[in-house]
Structures are given as structure tokens and as C-alpha cells.
């Protein structure tokens, strides 16, 4: 974290590298050059580190170690799941991340977009209708439904969607990038066929992630080469990053319920402060189940980019929705799908918290928001 940041409230964009991840990575680097494909002793040591990490992650994610494919992050995992699945068409929730939406559209296969309600929760009846319509006999469909929204934090009904998909012989892929480390994620319990995660969202290093693939699901590799990761993802594994990801996951999963309770309380405090200072503000998905620590809101009288600059000058790090879109000035597709007027959607600000967030961070944000609220009142006068 840079010294100019007084309150880091953009954890959904990236979490600070955890102490456990740093220690694990440093230990690997101190071992010297390690290539897990090499046959000598150093290579065997590298392979042992990777397989230990795979075991650790499997324990915390409710899957078998051999079901885990190590990747470069959430985007690659999503692309591998979507492009590599043996399917004839895609059914994609309007809430999905571009890393899911864009490869589906780029595949040349039919894509049906599944409607959501005003909170951003997928319409399960619509999912059923789309599965029935244009059904293909030669290959199943792939349903793409995230576990938790990167923007609103809303938790999707994945269990119910799995039941519907199974009735129609469809496969289901779950983008759990924003859920892992915030709420329990159990691959076997969810019943999905594939699940993606990204290390830097829960305190691991950037540039590494994983795709969990249920045993028996065929997958066409994106990358062809040396046949690493059981021929499902070629390329020399990043041993230190994988070790750091596993260590970060183990750390963030400790006492998760207590951490979630604390973050939910902080979010409630934050949202109470927002309503007190800006009664006209709209907090999205506030009545739906959300991961703890995410607040997405808008005010009809401000410009989101100007508000971001105000907070930044006060040393407060927040974002205008998805970090992938914030720098491009794009309006949130998810909010539009939720029925939010375009003029309000473009004014949205996301505040997201994590294990390192404290009451002092919320106080700093609300103090800065109070100054902004006074400016808005003067402008309206």
C-alpha cells in the first residue's frame, strides 16, 4: 500500500499481499531455481511444493487435488472453462464478468443472456426457459453463473441453478473469483462442473489462479506445449506464486465466520453513514444477500469520476464499479440489467473491504464523504 493512501477500500479490485503469502513465496525463492518439470532433485522439490499447495487448496475448496488446474488468474481460468468446454451454446447471466461474457461471444456459438431481478439475482425461471429453447442434441449447453458479483457483492443462487442445469443435461461454470475468501466455497457442495478463482482477490499474488474441473468433464486446452497440469494447461508453473496462493487461502479461511461478521458490521456502519449524509443516495442490492464488505452506491447529483478524484485527494482508495471498467468510463452493464437508469448507473461508486479494514478506514471515508456532501449542497443552492 502506498504511503499516500490513508484508507484502502478497493479490496474487490485487489487485496494486499498477505503476510502468509509473502512468507511462502520468500521460502520458495530462497530454495533457488526450481522447475517442477525437471527430473533432478531441485525439480522434484519444486513438484513437491506444487502438490502440497494443491492439497492445501483442495482442503479449503471442497474438491479433489487432481481437479485443480493452476492458471495465471481469473481471466485465464474463465476463458479455459468457457472456450474449452464441449458445448454447443452458452447461457450467461447478465451479471457475468467480461472474462466470461466475451469469450462466450467470441466463440461463434450461440449465446443467450439470462435476465436478473432488480437486485441482480438471476431469474431462475428465465434460465429454465432458455435451456428449453433452441436445445441442441449434439452437445450440452454451458450455464455461466458467478457466485458473487464483483460490483454489488450479491450472492447468486448457484445451488438452484445447478439443479435446473442438471434437469436439462447442461454443464455449469461458476466464476467464484469474488467469493473465495469472503464466504465458504465448497466445490462439491455447489455441484458445479467448473469453478474459477484468482489469488490476488484474497491476499495471494497477482498473476496466478486456478480452475477446478469436476472429474469426468472433458476440457480442450487453451495452451498447448509441454503438457503441464495433466495436459490441461501447458507452461512451466509459477512455483512461488502457487505456494503463496495456497498460503493466502489457508490464512483467509481461518475463522471466516468471525471475519465475515466483523466486515458485515463495518458495511452496515458505512451504509448508515451514507444514508445520513446523502439521503438521496441509492445503495444497490442492499436487500439481497451479499458478501460482507461490499457496498455499491450512487448519488444522482455527482459525477462518479469527480467523486473518485475527491476521495483520492483525501487518500481514500475506492472505485467506480468494476476495476476492469473503471478506467474506461464505461457504464455498468450489470446495473443496466438490474433496471437502474443509465444516468444513475454511470454515477456508481464501489467501496470494498477486507480483513485489514478497520473502523478508522470507515471513519476516514465518511469524513471525506461529508465534505463532498457539503460541496453538493452548495452547488445545488
Q: How crowded is residue 37: how many other Cβ atoms within 10 Å of its Cβ?
A: 12
Element (H, E) at 211: strand 209-213
Residue 82 CB contacts under 8 Å (≥ 6 apart), including other chains: 90, 100, 103, 104, 107, 142, 144, 173
157, exposed or middle or buried, with CB in 10 Å at 0-12, 13-18, 19+?
middle
C-alpha distance from residue 74 to each of 4, 93, 132, 136, 158 (Å):
29, 17, 30, 29, 18
C-alpha distance from residue 280 to each of 46, 143, 229, 344 (Å):
56, 37, 52, 11
Find the distance separating the first CA and the last CA of the chain, reported in whole Å.
Answer: 39
For residue 89, list its beta bridge partners. Answer: 141
Instruction: Please identify every residue annotated as catalytic.
Output: 324
327, exposed or middle or buried, with CB in 10 Å at 0-12, 13-18, 19+?
exposed
Asked whether the beta carbons of 55 and 266 are under 8 A apart, the reply is no
Amino acid at each position: 500500500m502506498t504511503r499516500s493512501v490513508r484508507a484502502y477500500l478497493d479490496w474487490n479490485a485487489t487485496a494486499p499481499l498477505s503476510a502468509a503469502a509473502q512468507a511462502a513465496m520468500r521460502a520458495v525463492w530462497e530454495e533457488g531455481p526450481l522447475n517442477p518439470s525437471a527430473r533432478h532433485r531441485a525439480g522434484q522439490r519444486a513438484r513437491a511444493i506444487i502438490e502440497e499447495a494443491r492439497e492445501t487448496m483442495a482442503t479449503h475448496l471442497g474438491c479433489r487435488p487432481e481437479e485443480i488446474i493452476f492458471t495465471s488468474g481469473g481471466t485465464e481460468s474463465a476463458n479455459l472453462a468457457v472456450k474449452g468446454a464441449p458445448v454447443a451454446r452458452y447461457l450467461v447471466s447478465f451479471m457475468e464478468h467480461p472474462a466470461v461474457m466475451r469469450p462466450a461471444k467470441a466463440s461463434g456459438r450461440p449465446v443467450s443472456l439470462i435476465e436478473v431481478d432488480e437486485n441482480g439475482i438471476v431469474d431462475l425461471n428465465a434460465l429454465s426457459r432458455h435451456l428449453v429453447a433452441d436445445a441442441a442434441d449434439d452437445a450440452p449447453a454451458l450455464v455461466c453463473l458467478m457466485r458473487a458479483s464483483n460490483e454489488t457483492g450479491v450472492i447468486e443462487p448457484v445451488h438452484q441453478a445447478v439443479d435446473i442445469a442438471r434437469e436439462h443435461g447442461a454443464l455449469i461454470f461458476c466464476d467464484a473469483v469474488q467469493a473465495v475468501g469472503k464466504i465458504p466455497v465448497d466445490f462439491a457442495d455447489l455441484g458445479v462442473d467448473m469453478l474459477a478463482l484468482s489469488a490476488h482477490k484474497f491476499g495471494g499474488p497477482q498473476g496466478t489462479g486456478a480452475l477446478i474441473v469436476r472429474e469426468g468433464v472433458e476440457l480442450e486446452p487453451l495452451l498447448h506445449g509441454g503438457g503441464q497440469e495433466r495436459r490441461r494447461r501447458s507452461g512451466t508453473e509459477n512455483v512461488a506464486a502457487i505456494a503463496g496462493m495456497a498460503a493466502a487461502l489457508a490464512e483467509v479461511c481461518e475463522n471466516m465466520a468471525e471475519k465475515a461478521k466483523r466486515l458485515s458490521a463495518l458495511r452496515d456502519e458505512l451504509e448508515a453513514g451514507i444514508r445520513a449524509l446523502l439521503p438521496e443516495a441509492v445503495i444497490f442490492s442492499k436487500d439481497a444477500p451479499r458478501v460482507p464488505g461490499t457496498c455499491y452506491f450512487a448519488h444522482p447529483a455527482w459525477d462518479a469520476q469527480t467523486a473518485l478524484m475527491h476521495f483520492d485527494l483525501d487518500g481514500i482508495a475506492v472505485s467506480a464499479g468494476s476495476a476492469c471498467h473503471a478506467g474506461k468510463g464505461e457504464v455498468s452493464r450489470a446495473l443496466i440489467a438490474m433496471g437502474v437508469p443509465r444516468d444513475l448507473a454511470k454515477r456508481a461508486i464501489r467501496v470494498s473491504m477486507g480483513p485489514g479494514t478497520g473502523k478508522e478506514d470507515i471513519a476516514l471515508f465518511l469524513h471525506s464523504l461529508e465534505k463532498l456532501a457539503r460541496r453538493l449542497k452548495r452547488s445545488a443552492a
